[in-house]
Every structure is written in structure tokens, then in C-alpha cells.
Amino acid sequence: MQQPDHDLRAFQSSPFAPRRFVAIGVVVLVHVVVIWALATGLAQNFIRRLPQEFKAQVVKEAPPPKEKAPPPPPPQLKQPPPPYVPPPEINISEPSTNSNSITVQSKMRTAPPPPAPPAQIIGARAIESTHTKPPYPPISARLGEHGTVLMMVTVGTDGTVLNVTIQKSSGYSRLDDAAKNWVKDHWRYRPATENGKPIVSRTLVRYTFELNNF
């Protein structure tokens, strides 16, 4: 560090020159001490601030644990087949004297039953005295309506008419209703039979309305 220059000419003629030299020396000494202290403190701070020595070491990552393979499935063992046991042989001795009778009985049991005789069915028969003509509707007569009605008649086991349905219309509802209601209320039959027993039967009936017969 450069020391300060002091002008000493003013002190050479002064009677107090030695004291001034002493003062100057003290000032210089103080400067030197201050400079030394500053230099020493800065050096220590520099040393303290130096980075510490670091040691770097590469750490190897541990390999991941290997997955254990699943155990193999247990072998499928085929069960041995059960031991074959032959069926016992059974010998039945039959007396020779009864062989013919046993054969005849077995044949009689296996023979099919005889066919049933065909059923004898006799259809319903009309009682003529009850089969009267239905009256001609007056309105139909005045309007000139005429035609043939085809009816399905259901006969019960007692010969009465259970039901009448129109199979083919005459073309006029008044004529159809007149014939249907008259047959159901007035006509009677001898019932049909099957092997002599009365049964329910059906029969077709045709009736014609004619103006000439009115």
C-alpha cells in the first residue's frame, strides 16, 4: 500500500520538530497496524470462504428384485379305471318235464291283445211330427224376401236341440233368425248312439223360404 507523503518543511524551522516527528511516527505506525489488521482479516475471511472439499462417489442403483416365476401347475394324474369285475355266471337248471308248459305260457303272455271291434255309430234321426215349417216373417213376405238357410244343428243325448249355427245365410237376417229359432224351440230327434249308448251329435239342416208356399 502506498504511504502518504507529508510535507516536512514546515517542521524544520519549528522549535517543536522532535515532537512532530514522534507524532508522525505514531501516525505511520497506526497506519501500518491498520493495514496489517485489514490484510490479516481479509485473508482469514477468504480462507474461511473457500469451498470445502467434497467427495463425489457414484452410487450404483441396486437392480430390481427379480420376479419369481409362478410354480408350474400340478400334473393332472389320470385316475386308473376301476378294476373289472366279471358278472357272476348263474346257471338255472329247469326240469325237462316242464319245459313245454313254460314255453307255452311265455308265448301266451307276449301275444298282442285282439283288436277291439269297430264302434257301431248310428246318427240322430228326426222325429217327423216335430219338424214343422217355421212361419214366414210377415215383413219378409211383404218385401218379397226369400232364400235358403243352411244350419248346423247340435243334438243332445236326450234328442233336444242344444245349439243351432248358421252355416250359409239366405241373404236376409229375418229369414235366418226365424229358421234358427224355430228349429231350436220345436224340432226333436232320436239321439245318435255308439254301441247302443246315446251320444251328442251334429247334423246339417237346410230350409228354403218360398213365397209360393206362403
Domain count, the chain: 2
204 in a structural domain: yes
Q: Specify the pLDDT at position 66.
A: 67
Residues in the chain: 214
Q: Specify the pLDDT at position 114.
A: 80
146 in a structural domain: yes
Quote the percentage of the chain above a pLDDT of 90. 42
pLDDT(106) > 50: no
65 in a structural domain: no
Among 83-87, 115-119, 132-136, the least confident range: 83-87
Among 29-33, 87-91, 195-199, the least confident range: 87-91
Q: Specify the pLDDT at position 64.
A: 67
Instruction: Between 22 and 158, name the one with better pLDDT.
Output: 158
Model confidence at 104, pLDDT cuts 50, 70, 90, reads very low
Which CATH number belongs to the domain containing residue 164 in this structure?
Answer: 3.30.2420.10
Q: Residue 175's domain spans which residues?
A: 122-209
pLDDT(209) > 90: yes
Model confidence at 93, pLDDT cuts 50, 70, 90, reads low
41 in a structural domain: yes
139 in a structural domain: yes
Q: Specify the pLDDT at position 1.
A: 47
Q: Angle at Cα 133 formed by Cα 151 and Cα 191, nearest 5°?
A: 55
In angstroms and rounded to an integer, the radius of gyration of the C-alpha atoms of the chain is 74
pLDDT(210) > 70: yes
For the chain, helix (H) and strand (E) counts, in that order, are: 5, 8
Q: How many CB atoms lie within 10 A of CB 178?
A: 20
pLDDT(18) > 90: no
